[in-house]
Amino acid sequence: MKKYTSIVIDSNFIYTTLGVIPPKENVLYSAFRVANNPPFSDVHAHGDIDSVVFIIAYDMHTLIPPTKEQSNFLADIAIKNGATLLITEMQLKNYPCLVVPNVIEALYKMLNAFFGKFTPPTVAVTGNIGKSTTTGFVTCVLQGDDTSVLPKIQSNSNDIRGVINSLCLSNAVCSYLVKEVMEGPPPGSAKIISNIIKPDIAIITQMSNSCIEHFDSIWHIFESSLEIQSGMPRSGVLLLNGDDCYQANAGTDLKKMYYAIENKNADFLASNIELSTQGTSFDFTYQNITTKMFINYIGKHNVYCALAAIALAKWASVPNDVIRERLLQYKPSNVLKNIMSVNGHLLYMDCFNASEHSMYSALEALQIFDNRRKIAVIGDIRALGQHSEPVHKRIGKFIANSNIDILLCFGEFSAYVAENASANKNISVFYSAKRKDIVEVLKSHAKKDDIILFKASMAMELEKIAERAFGINLGIRRDKPIDRRFVDQYSHYTGAC
């Protein structure tokens, strides 16, 4: 597989892109960085040796212009960390600055120029649920001895922040760029990012009511996801979920292929799914050739994520036996569907995020551990808006019909989960809006050999309960989302409507 060098970042490229006459001496830089307070970018990413740093001291929620004091503060950090050029709206101290009228506009121009010259094939993963798991599988099946994938480490930076982080890939050598792309909030995010990264192929994952608070309907969520095609070339390919009714007749002029479990007419098919405490096996069929696959993830919902990645690997001409071996080596980590042993307990950490659909899937996965006592620590599913109460009531009723032994509920809307699950008197149900209460109950009730599920939206920070109850450090750092007003203000710089 051919490996591509992205682009050379030098003063000629930077100054020309921003419409400024380049200096006589052409200087080579190592990477782009952004210095800004959250929520726009990583507060720690304030510079590398010989890097170019955009000094964006705006408050991204109010768009109030920065003071010189704020800009100087960020500039000090960037220079201390090794930056050799600052892109700013004013001269800062005696630092090397390229002064521009609007630094955010300059950043968007640089993003477009960067990805316009970035030559490796670009893969985008968008949709409503399962994006991060699918992105991990995609990276796994594409990464090999003769191929390299950037970024090698996945994170939940699937918004503009994640695109900016990709600028740090300058001068890197790779075979593919893989980017998880948010469908929203806010609506239109996929279109904006697509116009920047210009993907060659895109996966759309399953639709659900996740984040429906920010959309009119699930159909609107799908429409926002489908806008990933906005920046794709005419030769681009869409990989769609063939079991999702919203994606069945997706409107596109691009080539579309379907992956599915139930729809036997799909291009890529998974069948004979078998679940165990070690993972999930299934048969993969494409062009009448069937191969047995195994993933170290539990549940049918994870088969969809792996199947989408396998379909993409076939687009990249990866042989089936190679795909199978790479999947065998790929394992969950951190708080994304990860089962870990801690002092005799099995912790099923699945609190990277949550939707109603993924909540059911995680609870169903517990049923496989039939020789263990089952404890579920459930937190709120956020961003459901007017659907919050009925969704949490349905989850409670679902649990009432399960064989969960102990249920601990944390958060405002999880009170509805506790209330409805209490219909089953065989389940010990405890509710509190205080994290410390849940920690104490868990400490006193958990026994060796228990399987304990942690499931909630990431905003609930449910991992802190596990950390405090079992004395572990999961090292989670949460990033805040981009504000809608920021996207509205600057969307025209990326060709978005």
Is the model's pLDDT at 38 over the cut of 50? no
β partners of residue 289? 286
Per the model's pLDDT, the better-predicted residue between 455 and 153 turns out to be 455
Which of 367, 241, 368, 382 lies closest to 309, judged by CA?
241
Q: For the chain, which domains are there? A: 4-112 (3.40.1390.10), 120-329 (3.40.1190.10), 338-470 (3.90.190.20)
By C-alpha distance, which of 158, 245, 180 is closest to 208? 245
Q: What confidence score (pLDDT) does residue 338 get?
A: 86
Q: Which amino acid is at 124?
A: A
Hunting for tokens 């800062």 — which residue is that?
92
Tens of pLDDT, residue by residue over 375-406, are: 999 999 998 999 999 999 999 999 999 999 99
Provide the 3-class DSSP secondary structure of residue 173: strand
Task: Give the model confidence (pLDDT) of 347-382 as tens digits.
Answer: 999 988 899 999 999 999 999 998 899 999 999 999
What is the rounded CA–CA span in Å between residue 116 and residue 125? 19
pLDDT confidence of 83, banded at 50, 70, 90? Answer: confident
> What pLDDT sits at residue 263?
97
pLDDT of amino acid 77: 84
| 157 pLDDT more than 50 | yes
pLDDT in tens, 121-150: 899 999 999 999 999 999 999 988 777 776
In this structure, what is the dihedral angle of CA atoms 152, 156, 160, 163, given to the nearest 10 degrees? Answer: 0
Task: Give the pairing type, strands 428-432 and 451-455.
Answer: unpaired
Is pLDDT at 272 greater than 90 in this prediction? yes
* Cβ–Cβ < 8 Å for 441, 461: no
62 vs 35, more confident: 35
14: its two tokens: 């930077």
pLDDT of residue 134: 96
Band of residue 151 on the pLDDT scale cut at 50, 70, 90 = low
Q: Model confidence at 487, in pLDDT bands (50, 70, 90)?
A: very low
167 against 302, higher pLDDT:
302
Residue 202: strand, helix, or coil: strand
Can you tell me the mean pLDDT for 81-106?
A: 90
Q: What angle do CA 202, 208, 210 make, to 5 degrees?
A: 100
Cα–Cα separations (whole angstroms), residue 313 to 1, 138, 221, 317, 320: 13, 8, 26, 6, 9
Q: What are residue 150's phi and psi, to 5 degrees?
A: -120, 140
Q: Which tokens sit at 456?
A: 């909630």
Residue 237 β-bridge partners: 201, 255
**Rounded average pLDDT over 37-41:** 42
What number is the average pLDDT over the span 10-21?
93
Q: Mean of the pLDDT values across residues 181-209?
A: 90
- Token duo for residue 225: 């996801």
Across residues 37-63, what is the average pLDDT?
54
Position 434 confidence tier, pLDDT thresholds 50, 70, 90: very high
Q: How confident is the model at residue 494 (pLDDT cuts 50, 70, 90)?
A: very low
The answer to whether the CB of 125 falls within 8 A of the CB of 47 is no
Average the pLDDT over 21-47 and give the result: 67
Fill in the amino acid letter for 398.
Answer: F
Tell me the HSE value of 274 on the side-chain side, using a 13 A CA sphere.
Answer: 8
CA distance 209 to 128: 8
pLDDT at residue 171, as a whole number? 52
Supply 112's token pair: 């477009």
Q: What count of residues does the chain have? A: 497
Alpha-helical regions (H) of 246-387? 300-315, 320-329, 356-366
Residue 116 CB: number of other CB atoms within 10 A? 11
- Token digits for 439? 């920690």
pLDDT at 29: 85
Chain mean pLDDT for the chain: 85
Assign 100 a pLDDT band (cuts: 50, 70, 90): very high
Mean pLDDT for 262-285 is 96
Confidence at residue 491, expressed as pLDDT on a 0 to 100 scale:
42
Query: CA–CA separation, 147 vs 217, rounded Å?
Result: 40
Report whether pLDDT(475) > 80.
no
DSSP 29-90: -S-EEEE--TTSS-TT-S--TT-EEEE---BTTTTBPPPHHHHHHHHHHHHHTT--EEEESS
Over residues 106-129, the pLDDT tens digits come to 888 888 887 777 678 899 999 999
- Residues with Cβ within 8 Å of residue 357, at least 6 apart in sequence: 129, 206, 208, 209, 210, 301
Give the CA distances from residue 57 to residues 46, 102, 494, in Å, rounded to whole numbers and listed in that order: 12, 12, 21
Average pLDDT over residues 185-203: 89
Pairing of the two strands 32-35 and 4-5: unpaired
The pLDDT of residue 318: 96
pLDDT tens digits along 210-254: 888 888 899 999 999 999 999 999 999 999 999 999 998 899 999
Share of the chain above pLDDT 70, in %: 85
pTM, rounded to two decimals: 0.83
Tell me if residue 198 falls in helix, strand or coil: coil
**Distance from the Cα of residue 417 to its chain's centroid:** 26
Position 48 pLDDT exceeds 60: no
Confidence at residue 140, expressed as pLDDT on a 0 to 100 scale: 94
pLDDT of residue 53: 79
Q: Among residues of the chain, what percentage have pLDDT more than 90?
A: 59
